[in-house]
Structure 1
Amino acid sequence: MEYLKFCFVFSCWIKFASSVYSTDAPKSPAPIPKEKLLVLTVATEETDGFRRFMQSANYFNYTVKVLGMGEAWKGGDVGRSIGGGQKVKLLKKAMEDLADQEDLVVLSVDSYDLIFAGGPEEILRKFQQANHKVLFAAEGLIWPDKRLADKYPSVRSGKRYLNSGGIIGYAPYINRIVSQWNLHDNDDDQLFYTKIYLDPLQRETFNMTLDHKCQIFQNLNGAVDEVLLKFGTGRVRVRNTAYDSLPVVVHGNGNTKMYLNYLGNYVPNAWNYEHGCSHCDDDVVDLSQLKEYPNVLVGVFIEQPTPFLPEFFQRLLTLDYPKDKLKVFVHNNEVYHEKHIQRFWEENRNVFGSFKVVGPEENLSQGEARNMGMDLCRKDATCDYYFSIDSDVMLTNRQTVKLLIEQNRKIIGPLVTRHSKLWSNFWGALSLDGYYARSEDYVDIVQRKRVGVWNIPYMAHVYLVKGSVLRNELKERNYFVLEKLDPDMALCRNAREMTSHREKDSPSPESFHMLRPPKGVFMYITNRHDFGRLISTANYNISHYNNDLWQIFENPVDWKEKYIHPNYTRIFTENFLEQPCPDVFWFPVFSEKACDEIVEEMEHYGSWSGGKHEDKRIAGGYETVPTDDIHMKQIGFDKEWLHFIREFISPVTLKVFSGYYTKGYALMNFVVKYTPERQAYLRPHHDSSTFTINIALNNKDSDFQGGGCRFHRYNCSIESPRKGWSFMHPGRLTHLHEGLPTTNGTRYIAVSFIDP
């Protein structure tokens, strides 16, 4: 008996082993050929989002069929409320011709807010692994009927709720699902699919499931925090950190379209660390191949007192672009700047195609003025581009307009930043309330560690818009006014979220709700070149005669460009200085403009001391060797002057007096005025300083005759001072010196007794 039991058990084990190890056991199904995948999408217009979708599809060689192109959209405002039924109707019609193709896999996706991150082979492999006939995208938020939440099958892990933006399945099954559609175009497509899925019988009949762990479909709504970019040696992928998956289809549903734009700057192959920007040279305009340059309207906006405005206009004048192709519109909101504009216009009235100024007397708001500028281009059929620039933008790249046109984007701005700061003219992301938020890549873009052309949610200060866009997508004429937003924020929000009525001459009340899906215009910033900088308008005091002199702290780069001698840096690179007397060094430091403005400032102040010994301005009230002068403190320029000494004199000191490190401090800083009528010369004396600087502020022969300086110990005289050049010499013991007589005219010098 025991023997029989043993035989039975042994025979069972043999059968089991045979079934496990038999070569006749079921094998994994053969991979579905990529030719058997058809992508169906609905798009009634070629928006920027649609073109991006097609670009990603073409990159992976998907076969795409577009439904509804050119038709009027009647599917409701799907970006803000229920709707989208028109998509199901179009899909239903398309599936009628595909219903008999049992081995065809249909992928139905949205297009305006969706990109591919992987190819057909990957999506088909993952579909097979799911082992269902139909797979819907999943998300963590339920829409549009929250009351249906309890009817959803529970899941241990993953997204629970259906999203209709992504469906993949065999053609006969998809056909049988959509053939049930008998609703209106503006009924909700997601609710339609949801009700079918929640029916247990239909769910089983159609063998449906959801892509719970985002293996294929990644909906961003409610999931932004779990989605990151994955940089590898190949293309960039989107990674879901919650399920450690690499989704193939990325959908910016709900209010996540800006985040999709950010992802789309990299995925699938837009930018990576190895190759940089892959699409920057796609569809560019070659200006050299055009018969003539496009016409550009330049809109200049001066909305507050702005430093260095004459320099701003000079940079506009030196743009490398045919001036007869440039028309200029200026809105000036500051009476203070009328003199600058008038001077520029008088000198260049015949340079541009036209020059129109709207001044402060018009009392326009910023929004109204900017709308007016755009309108001038919108109404002019010959206006090919509108270039808007604020007065706080210093364009250092003369090719800026050409470079922006060549990129061939609807709206594009050049990156400009505040010197040595992360402040720029764009935002990489927005907070929930629509204001600034820092994107992951913001700092790298600002510092040009990542170089390319970037789709961004907000820009300001300077940008180029195609004239055709102003006459079509942006044809409404009040884009700079929206709620309580500032004009730039209003423009960007209107461009991003633009939705318009059906194309009817006068929509009827019953068709008012028939809106297109949002067809926002993409805005780009380019940092492919160094374009320039933003200057600070904060703390700009216009109570002085030459106000830019005081900008050495707020705008040091512009201050240096305007006021420091063009040959100053050659002191250090080419030893560009002279030693006319022992230990007396002569070098360029101030520009002509600096000299002129310092003299003007002192004469405007006007209270020259008269060269008297009694002087209440100094300690003790008595000056042994008086000059006819005005102190820097008297005009409120002392802090700025000391900073000038530290920044531009101290480096020269270290070069010529090797080993001496100056504190860069001086109690006596003043401008001296020599005239034959008041004070023509200065008797021999030592200065109360470790070393002294003496800067010539005007020209010998043309402004005065005579003058100069004689050093007694060495019997050495310097009688030909150069405007903008400084003497530097020791102040005590060795360099007894005198001021030689000025015989005619007026001589001005700026003097500092440094390290007293």
Structure 2
Amino acid sequence: MAMEYFPCFYFLLFSLIQFINCVQPATRTQDPIPTDKLLVLTVATAETDGFLRFMQSANYFNYNVKILGMGEEWKGGDVGRSIGGGQKVRLLKEAMESLADQEDLIVLFVDSYDVIFAGGPEELLKKFQQVNHRVLFAAEGLVWPDKRLADKYPFVRSGKRFLNSGGIIGYAPNVNSIMQQWDLHDNDDDQLFYTKIYLDPLQRETLNMTLDHKCMIFQNLNGAVDEVLLKFGTERVRVRNTVYDTLPVVVHGNVNTKIYLNFLGNYIPNAWNYEHGCGVCDEDMIDFSQLKDFPSITVGVFIEQPTPFLPEFLQRLLNLDYPKDKLTFFIHNNEVYHEKHIQKFWEETKNIFKSFKVVGPEEMLSQGEARNMGMDTCRQDPGCDFYFSVDADVMLNNRQTLKLLIEQNRKIISPLVSRHGKLWSNFWGALSLDGYYARSEDYVDIVQGKRIGVWNVPYMAHIYLIKGEALRTELKERNYFILEKLDPDMALCRNARELTIQREKDSPSPESFHMLRPPKGVFMYITNRHEFGRIISTANYNTSHFNNDLWQIYENPVDWKEKYIHPNYTRIFTENLTEEPCPDVFWFPVFSEKACDEIVEEMENFGSWSGGKHQDKRISGGYESVPTDDIHMSQIDYEKEWLHFIREFISPVTLKVFSGYYTKGYALLNFVVKYSPERQAFLRPHHDTSTFTINIALNNKGTDFQGGGCRFHRYNCSIESPRKGWSFMHPGRLTHLHEGLPTTKGTRYIAVSFIDP
């Protein structure tokens, strides 16, 4: 008879447990749980960037956090890629033994390297009370690590069904009861351990456990990235689960979602919002005024392909506002074409910098090998405080760049630089599934400066600053720039993001690998708090000319203008910097000295001057009535670029001085004239076949030649002192008959265009 009543006994026992669990917590929810009854436990064996971010968010909300395992060797396996994490349970078990008798203590356990708090203790405890259970585990939509256990989970009508071990909250005695069952190894799987306990119906009922099915407290991102959106408030930013319309308190970037968590961490809880901008940019900054001396920096310069404006790039490095005796230069030049530029730079600076090393194309190093060598220059020098890597296609226009980057006090930080007028920049805001470029939702706003701050990104290139200490600790492994088939920058970024594995005693055996700490990453930051410069285009850079940068007016218009347009050109429009030495003859600055010199050099290098002959096959009809000793722009393949120069820099002046006339900016004849007593000293009176003509002086009177000038017959007006880089502009037909005055000594060069023929 006793056996017949045995099932009924268990049925009544389960019913009684359910009744007690339902009734008792209900009485407790009448009063809020005091926040001093909440203790946060987390495991961290090292102060990684992820851990520091976790603590920053915890401190923002005033959580009481106890850290377990700091300084221990990590033996819990690679939990980001396989099973493991048992070491965390062991540490929790040890911690809970002293807390087990505190009946009213609420213990929250969360991971630290990949977790951010989005809400405070009051909200957390209120939501836990609403759950009406003694222990609450985080939930996710994917079962791990044993998919065969999926069918054993209780049915869930709505919400996530499977347990995740990255978040647990419960009353101390109940949590302790779970932890005391651990008797496995540090590298066994923590999630499987918790899962088996949860799937035991008796334990689930006895300990009153449930899962956070609708992400009220815990938001695991794995398999749920599409569910969450940023919700901006006036003071702080939240993550909103759009499926369940909840605001999770703890955001967990588990498995392969850490990059997305980094994106969210750029905003939550107070990193950036629309009203106040960056809330953390000024925290933990280095104050140069408090330093006894400037940090020592190794500057790695990489010239890996023919690059326009290289002398200007090197000059910008020289102009950086930083003590030169604190700079050590390592230059890798992979191009024979640029050896003359490096040689000149070395001769000018060899006694300025602390040291100067050049590795040339004869070494035949790959990009990865060269960059490893440059980084090792700092890594192996205990006195190197920072490593500053910059590619030759970066034009820095902020002299304070080094100081501004150092001040931010990040292990790896890069100034934002982008292509002029384009969204192409030196960072990626997100990665695709195969590890390549993907556009984050804030990428355009960051590049365009609509969101200003310091941003955690998965990829940066071209220019960055790395702490020397980081190179000798977290990033101490060699060959960071060589990985599979990735380009060097992608290899560096992946190696920085992902776990560093170290071999014991240089043993070649795979079994000898062990991890010194749990999966972690060194965060890489981009700052756009200041304007730093731009990336120039190296595409289609033709090095077959004598002065190749002259041809860059299309590819790199800003750098072309800075190098070749007169520094006072804009004053034509702001300060009316034009002169009228003769009626309707206007005089204004247009070319820099460098432009004048390089155009003359280009023509002399070509060398085929016409000789001032009437017979001229270069023009229609083959006959020139008033010939000059010249070379046409078309002969040096510069016609297209010259016409673009006319449209961009001459046409605006035309509209200013000849009000109401809109030029087409077109010319059939564009040429450089050479006057000298030995060849052709002057030009007889003539009209130009143009609506108007420009005449640009390319060298200096008194220094390069004597005599010269231009006389306008109708007005009996002569201009005998042309200025280098300045242009005359005058009507061509009918009114302005003119002649070229004799050059009596030296050689005079002018650039002429007959515009709108």
TM-score of the aligned structures, taking structure 1 as reference length: 0.96
CA distance in 1, matches of 2:79, 2:367: 33
CA distance in 2, matches of 1:742, 1:555: 37
For the 8 Å contact 1:92–1:181, the answer to whether it is kept is yes
1:477, distance to aligned residue in structure 2 (A): 1.1
Q: Which amino acid aligns with 1:345?
A: W
Which residue pairs with 2:615 in the alignment? 614
1:65 and 2:66 correspond: yes
Which residue pairs with 2:442 in the alignment? 441
- The 5 A counterparts of 1:493-532 are 493-501=494-502, 512=513, 516-532=517-533
Which residue pairs with 2:8 in the alignment? none
Which residue pairs with 1:346 in the alignment? 347
Question: How many equivalent residue pairs?
Answer: 732
For the 8 Å contact 2:394–2:535, the answer to whether it is kept is yes
SS in 2 for 1:749: strand
Which residue pairs with 1:102 in the alignment? 103
For the 8 Å contact 2:45–2:518, the answer to whether it is kept is no
Which residue pairs with 1:362 in the alignment? 363
CA distance in 1, matches of 2:280, 2:206: 45
For the 8 Å contact 1:498–1:521, the answer to whether it is kept is no
For the 8 Å contact 2:29–2:129, the answer to whether it is kept is no
Which residue pairs with 1:694 in the alignment? 695
CA distance in 2, matches of 1:87, 1:517: 10
CA distance in 2, matches of 1:749, 1:337: 30
Instruction: List structure 1 runs of 4+ shifted beyond 4 angstroms.
Output: 25-28, 502-511
Q: Which stretch of the first structure deviates more once superposed, 645-654 or 289-298?
A: 289-298
Which residue pairs with 2:649 in the alignment? 648
Q: Which amino acid aligns with 1:151?
A: K
CA distance in 2, matches of 1:393, 1:74: 43
Seen in structure 2, the aligned counterparts of structure 1 residues 503 and 29 have a Cα distance that, compared at 3 Å, is: farther
What 5-or-longer segments of structure 2 have no aligned partner? 1-25
Which residue pairs with 1:604 in the alignment? 605
CA distance in 1, matches of 2:532, 2:447: 12
Q: Which amino acid aligns with 1:52?
A: R
CA distance in 2, matches of 1:546, 1:62: 64
CA distance in 1, matches of 2:369, 2:682: 60
1:234, distance to aligned residue in structure 2 (A): 2.0
CA distance in 2, matches of 1:113, 1:673: 71
SS in 1 for 2:702: coil
1:400, distance to aligned residue in structure 2 (A): 0.2
1:344, distance to aligned residue in structure 2 (A): 1.1
Q: Which amino acid aligns with 1:638?
A: E
SS in 2 for 1:193: helix
Which residue pairs with 2:726 in the alignment? 725
CA distance in 1, matches of 2:517, 2:280: 29
Q: Which amino acid aligns with 2:561?
A: K
1:499, distance to aligned residue in structure 2 (A): 2.7
Seen in structure 2, the aligned counterparts of structure 1 residues 753 and 160 have a Cα distance that, compared at 3 Å, is: same
For the 8 Å contact 2:29–2:130, the answer to whether it is kept is no
1:514, distance to aligned residue in structure 2 (A): 5.3
What 5-or-longer segments of structure 1 have no aligned partner? 1-24
Q: Which stretch of the first structure deviates more once superposed, 739-748 or 282-291?
A: 282-291
For the 8 Å contact 2:500–2:515, the answer to whether it is kept is no
1:200 and 2:201 correspond: yes
CA distance in 2, matches of 1:387, 1:68: 34
Q: Which amino acid aligns with 2:267?
A: Y
CA distance in 2, matches of 1:460, 1:509: 32
SS in 1 for 2:384: coil
Q: Which amino acid aligns with 1:490?
A: A
- The 5 A counterparts of 1:198-347 are 198-347=199-348
Which residue pairs with 2:19 in the alignment? none
Q: Which amino acid aligns with 1:169?
A: G
Which residue pairs with 2:4 in the alignment? none
1:500, distance to aligned residue in structure 2 (A): 2.6
For the 8 Å contact 1:302–1:334, the answer to whether it is kept is yes
SS in 1 for 2:696: strand
Which residue pairs with 1:3 in the alignment? none
Seen in structure 2, the aligned counterparts of structure 1 residues 110 and 504 have a Cα distance that, compared at 3 Å, is: farther
Which residue pairs with 1:624 in the alignment? 625
For the 8 Å contact 1:40–1:66, the answer to whether it is kept is yes
Which residue pairs with 1:143 in the alignment? 144
CA distance in 2, matches of 1:682, 1:26: 108
Seen in structure 2, the aligned counterparts of structure 1 residues 465 and 619 have a Cα distance that, compared at 3 Å, is: same
**Aligned-residue CA RMSD in angstroms?**
1.3
1:513, distance to aligned residue in structure 2 (A): 5.0
Seen in structure 2, the aligned counterparts of structure 1 residues 314 and 272 have a Cα distance that, compared at 3 Å, is: same
SS in 1 for 2:234: coil
1:515, distance to aligned residue in structure 2 (A): 5.7
Which residue pairs with 2:590 in the alignment? 589
For the 8 Å contact 1:113–1:257, the answer to whether it is kept is yes
- The 5 A counterparts of 1:19-168 are 29-168=30-169
SS in 2 for 1:126: helix
For the 8 Å contact 1:501–1:516, the answer to whether it is kept is no
1:36, distance to aligned residue in structure 2 (A): 0.6
For the 8 Å contact 1:42–1:110, the answer to whether it is kept is yes
Which residue pairs with 1:17 in the alignment? none
CA distance in 1, matches of 2:222, 2:520: 18
SS in 2 for 1:418: coil
- The 5 A counterparts of 1:468-547 are 468-501=469-502, 512=513, 516-547=517-548
1:507, distance to aligned residue in structure 2 (A): 10
CA distance in 2, matches of 1:69, 1:282: 24
Which residue pairs with 1:18 in the alignment? none
CA distance in 1, matches of 2:294, 2:87: 44
Q: Which amino acid aligns with 2:65?
A: V
Seen in structure 2, the aligned counterparts of structure 1 residues 510 and 652 have a Cα distance that, compared at 3 Å, is: closer
For the 8 Å contact 1:499–1:517, the answer to whether it is kept is no
For the 8 Å contact 1:501–1:507, the answer to whether it is kept is no
For the 8 Å contact 1:502–1:516, the answer to whether it is kept is no
CA distance in 1, matches of 2:732, 2:512: 87
CA distance in 1, matches of 2:29, 2:729: 89
CA distance in 1, matches of 2:534, 2:625: 48
CA distance in 1, matches of 2:750, 2:699: 8
CA distance in 2, matches of 1:42, 1:314: 50
Q: Which amino acid aligns with 1:452?
A: G
For the 8 Å contact 2:504–2:513, the answer to whether it is kept is no
Which residue pairs with 1:466 in the alignment? 467
SS in 1 for 2:655: helix
Q: Which amino acid aligns with 1:678?
A: R
1:508, distance to aligned residue in structure 2 (A): 8.6
Percent identical among aligned pairs is: 85
TM-score of the aligned structures, taking structure 2 as reference length: 0.95
1:291, distance to aligned residue in structure 2 (A): 1.4
CA distance in 2, matches of 1:583, 1:32: 88
For the 8 Å contact 1:675–1:745, the answer to whether it is kept is yes
What are the superposed Cα offsets for residues 433-465 of structure 1, whole Å, 9 maximum, x if unpaired? 000000011001101110010000000000000
SS in 2 for 1:55: helix
For the 8 Å contact 1:480–1:490, the answer to whether it is kept is yes
CA distance in 1, matches of 2:733, 2:591: 25
CA distance in 2, matches of 1:454, 1:64: 26
Seen in structure 2, the aligned counterparts of structure 1 residues 433 and 26 have a Cα distance that, compared at 3 Å, is: closer
Q: Which amino acid aligns with 2:254?
A: N
Q: Which amino acid aligns with 2:458?
A: P
For the 8 Å contact 1:41–1:110, the answer to whether it is kept is yes
What are the superposed Cα offsets for residues 129-155 of structure 1, whole Å, 9 maximum, x if unpaired? 001110000001111000111111111
Q: Which stretch of the first structure deviates more once superposed, 195-204 or 329-338?
A: 195-204
1:347, distance to aligned residue in structure 2 (A): 1.6
SS in 2 for 1:714: coil
What are the superposed Cα offsets for residues 172-199 of structure 1, whole Å, 9 maximum, x if unpaired? 0000011111111100000000011111
Which residue pairs with 1:566 in the alignment? 567
Seen in structure 2, the aligned counterparts of structure 1 residues 202 and 511 have a Cα distance that, compared at 3 Å, is: farther
Q: Which amino acid aligns with 1:90?
A: L
Which residue pairs with 2:420 in the alignment? 419
For the 8 Å contact 1:136–1:166, the answer to whether it is kept is yes
Q: Which amino acid aligns with 1:581?
A: C
What are the superposed Cα offsets for residues 490-546 of structure 1, whole Å, 9 maximum, x if unpaired? 000000003334888879976635563212110001000000000000000000000
CA distance in 1, matches of 2:332, 2:28: 75
Which residue pairs with 2:403 in the alignment? 402
CA distance in 2, matches of 1:410, 1:515: 19
SS in 2 for 1:432: coil
Seen in structure 2, the aligned counterparts of structure 1 residues 295 and 365 have a Cα distance that, compared at 3 Å, is: same
SS in 2 for 1:49: helix
Q: Which amino acid aligns with 2:136?
A: L
